Amino acid sequence: MAQVILDRRDVDFVLHEQLEVETLSKHEKFEEFTRKTIDLIVSEARNLAVKEMLPTLKPGDEEGCTFDKGQVRVPESFHKLHGLFREGGWIAMCDDPEWGGQGMPATVALAAKNFFNGANFPFTLNTLLTHGAGKLVEIFGTEKQKQLFLKKMYTGEWGGTMLLTEPEAGSDVGALTTTAVMNDDGTYSISGSKIFISSGENDLVENIIHPVLARIEGAPAGTSGISLFLVPKIRVNDDGSLGEFNDVVCTGIEHKMGIHGSATCSLTLGGKGQCRGTLLGEVNKGMRAMFVMMNEARLDVGMQALGCASASFTNALNYARERVQGRHLQAAGKDAPPVPIIQHPDVRRMLLTMKAYTEGIRSIMYFTGFCEDMIRISGDANEKARWQGLIDVLIPIAKGYASDRAFDVCNMGVQMFGGYGYTKEYPQEQLLRDCKITHIYEGTNGIQAMDLLGRKLSLNQGQAFRDLLDEMTKTADAARAVGRLEGLAEGLSNVIARLEELALHMTKTARSEKMMSAYAVAYPFMEVTGDTIMAWMLLWRAIVAAKRLESGAKKKDVVFYEGQIRSARFFIGSLLPVTLGKMSAVITDDGTIMEMDEESFGGK
């Protein structure tokens, strides 16, 4: 039987051969997570994904969410799925078992998420925010808040969201106008309107807990006057039982290009003056809480994009092997029989491109999770800081760059099916539509690029970025010692050197009078950084593969390992030259974008 959703072999390769994730089990915190346990978890996740989640992908898209008088219904099939998801404990995979979590390494959880997102990311999105909101309660909540809410969220009995965006405050969070007024009992009366709230209202759960960004009366303007509140849809009594409706009203849902199975809600809080919330964390420190959640949330979005790309690639590969059409280009006569389309050069080009990006992005994601795990087991503050720095630098790539490239993969994934790819008969067009949202939410990709240039490049006086360059250089050095990878090692070293030069240039320019022009090329700078990281990951994979081949591998493994080396060769040989061209454009940029007269963009 053909692979479904994604190639398990590649997941295992990253977990066990590239990252050697079972080494984490040497540490007390993860001692349960032996290879056997890890494999079991991945198998369980794969089973759920293949058998239950994937069959609901298309029905979920077609049925979508419906809104009627404040009530939102998710696709019917999602209810059973939600139950199974809860039973399996998949909502809080890495969290404290005391609160209902599974305490597993982030790296392993990402493997599970890879399957879930590849099978049905609109469904998964419903549970993702429950976890994110729970995490805020865990980190910032009082003991009472935790007792009342946390376990019920981590186990999916109640849902969670994040109420951030308002009609006039999207990317500019500081402009929000929702207000909070303290009551005599210490609670706050909340009033305002929020939009684009994923799962803001739904019929999967009996209560929904909303972390809400709002401004306490009299607080400063901008982001420094924003506080975070915990606002349940239905009030919760001190004994944990449900009380009255808390005046959180869904006023409508968006009709969207994709992710139809996830309701995107508009909510009005306190329309009747009856919405109460409790402060979560400190007054005016709401944005800090957001920043704490940001890395995880952005990595999750990258994982959604990877899910779409993984599935689209897997479908395309299966199709290319099955679909027979057209003669071989070198066929002798006109009567030559048609061949599977994988034999056609341009089809192979697309497949190899899709493979390289999908696998490279997978490594970027899992490695980022691995850094998190290293923080969790490390006792050394410097070491922790180093891992954290790597994560911080990688996040805009794991979200912005990865989602862009995943969309390209999905685009090729439609193309691979020809006319059929454009029809709803195959999942390819849905994967493309669903994937598009990952460019937009959790900070548009433009914002990711600004984050990389404005914050991450100079983080810890530039040490975090230097640490990244060091990691990549180590891999290039290691590859140099592997005979057949010497040329590729040169390729990576060369682009790392250019990236270092460019990073210094960008850091300097962003602080000069040419600041605006630096930000105008922040996006291509993010792209070339991502390309370099991609080349790093693919070469790292190739080193592992080459060593296994040297020490003798089974036939089935040989083709897999050879595939790893080819991907690296293709990326470094065929795509990195393009990166070098882009780098040279960024470094010689003459500021045209900012100099342009506003009127010159076109007539009014």
Residues classed as catalytic: 442
Q: Does 455 bind a copy of itself (CB under 8 A)?
A: no
Find the binder of a copy of itself among 23, 71, 224, 512 (CB under 8 A). Answer: 224
206 in Cβ contact with 158 (< 8 Å)? yes
Nearer to a copy of itself, 96 or 217 (CB): 217
Binding range to a copy of itself, per CB under 8 A, among 149-157, 239-247, 478-486, 568-576? 568-576
Find the binder of a copy of itself among 121, 154, 229, 407 (CB under 8 A). Answer: 407
Nearer to a copy of itself, 186 or 483 (CB): 483
Find the binder of a copy of itself among 113, 152, 362, 569 (CB under 8 A). Answer: 569
211, β-bridge pairs: 230
Find the binder of a copy of itself among 55, 59, 174, 462 (CB under 8 A). Answer: 174
Least distance in Å: CB of 188 to a copy of itself?
A: 24
Q: Does 577 bind a copy of itself (CB under 8 A)?
A: yes
Find the binder of a copy of itself among 279, 432, 489, 534 (CB under 8 A). Answer: 432
Sign of CA dihedral 551, 557, 562, 568: negative
Least distance in Å: CB of 542 to a copy of itself?
A: 12
Binding range to a copy of itself, per CB under 8 A, among 121-129, 242-250, 301-309, 437-445? 437-445
Least distance in Å: CB of 238 to a copy of itself?
A: 37
Nearer to a copy of itself, 92 or 479 (CB): 479
Least distance in Å: CB of 599 to a copy of itself?
A: 4
Q: What's the maximum distance between 2 C-alpha atoms anywhere in the chain?
A: 89
Residue 58 CA to residue 267 CA, distance in Å, equals 27
Residue 126 CA to residue 205 CA, distance in Å, equals 10
> Taking CB under 8 A as the criterion, which residues in 80-109 touch a copy of itself?
none
Binding range to a copy of itself, per CB under 8 A, among 100-108, 185-193, 216-224, 383-391? 216-224
Nearer to a copy of itself, 181 or 587 (CB): 587
> Taking CB under 8 A as the criterion, which residues in 176-195 touch a copy of itself?
195
Residue 361 CA to residue 366 CA, distance in Å, equals 9
Q: Does 411 bind a copy of itself (CB under 8 A)?
A: yes
Nearer to a copy of itself, 158 or 401 (CB): 401
Q: What is the 3-state secondary structure (H, E, C) of 441-467?
A: CCCCHHHHHHHHHHHHCCHHHHHHHHH
Q: Does 288 bind a copy of itself (CB under 8 A)?
A: no
Nearer to a copy of itself, 27 or 58 (CB): 58
Burial class of 117 by CB neighbour count within 10 A (0 to 12, 13 to 18, 19+): buried
424: helix, strand or coil: coil
Find the binder of a copy of itself among 40, 182, 504, 585 (CB under 8 A). Answer: 585
Residue 569 in tokens: 């060769």
Residue 517 CA to residue 595 CA, distance in Å, equals 9
Binding range to a copy of itself, per CB under 8 A, among 5-13, 208-216, 371-379, 382-390? 5-13
Angle (CA) 11-17-22 rounded to 5° is: 90
140, β-bridge pairs: none
Binding range to a copy of itself, per CB under 8 A, among 42-50, 179-187, 410-418, 456-464? 410-418
> Taking CB under 8 A as the criterion, which residues in 492-531 touch a copy of itself?
515-517, 519-524
> Taking CB under 8 A as the criterion, which residues in 347-386 touch a copy of itself?
347-352, 355
Find the binder of a copy of itself among 36, 69, 554, 604 (CB under 8 A). Answer: 604
Nearer to a copy of itself, 237 or 584 (CB): 584
Least distance in Å: CB of 7 to a copy of itself?
A: 5
Which residues are within 8 A (CB) of 367 and not within 5 positions of it... i.e. 6 or more apart?
A: 19, 394, 537
Q: Does 415 bind a copy of itself (CB under 8 A)?
A: yes
Find the binder of a copy of itself among 184, 185, 239, 335 (CB under 8 A). Answer: 335
Q: Does 175 bind a copy of itself (CB under 8 A)?
A: yes
Angle (CA) 516-521-526 rounded to 5° is: 130
Nearer to a copy of itself, 504 or 516 (CB): 516
Residue with token string 């700078």: 525
Torsions phi, psi for 232 (to 5 deg): -80, 150
Residue 459 CA to residue 445 CA, distance in Å, equals 19
Burial class of 169 by CB neighbour count within 10 A (0 to 12, 13 to 18, 19+): middle
> Taking CB under 8 A as the criterion, which residues in 526-555 touch a copy of itself?
none
How many residues at the interface with a copy of itself, by CB under 8 A? 117
DSSP secondary structure of 342-377: GGSHHHHHHHHHHHHHHHHHHHHHHHHHHHHHHHHH
312: helix, strand or coil: helix
Q: Which of 74, 39, 201, 171 is nearest to 444 (CA)?
A: 171
Binding range to a copy of itself, per CB under 8 A, among 35-43, 374-382, 468-476, 569-577? 569-577
Nearer to a copy of itself, 245 or 570 (CB): 570
Residue 208 CA to residue 161 CA, distance in Å, equals 7
Binding range to a copy of itself, per CB under 8 A, among 3-11, 228-236, 272-280, 386-394? 3-11
Torsions phi, psi for 326 (to 5 deg): 85, 145
Sign of CA dihedral 556, 559, 562, 566: negative
Binding range to a copy of itself, per CB under 8 A, among 72-80, 117-125, 339-347, 495-503? 339-347
Residue with token string 């977990």: 15
Q: Which of 189, 203, 290, 167 is nearest to 248 (CA)?
A: 189
Beta strands in 292-415 (DSSP E): 324-327, 338-340
Amino acid letter, residue 489: A
Which residues are within 8 A (CB) of 350 and not within 5 positions of it... i.e. 6 or more apart?
A: 316, 412, 415, 416
Nearer to a copy of itself, 217 or 346 (CB): 346
Q: Does 12 bind a copy of itself (CB under 8 A)?
A: no
Least distance in Å: CB of 588 to a copy of itself?
A: 7
Find the binder of a copy of itself among 206, 338, 383, 550 (CB under 8 A). Answer: 338
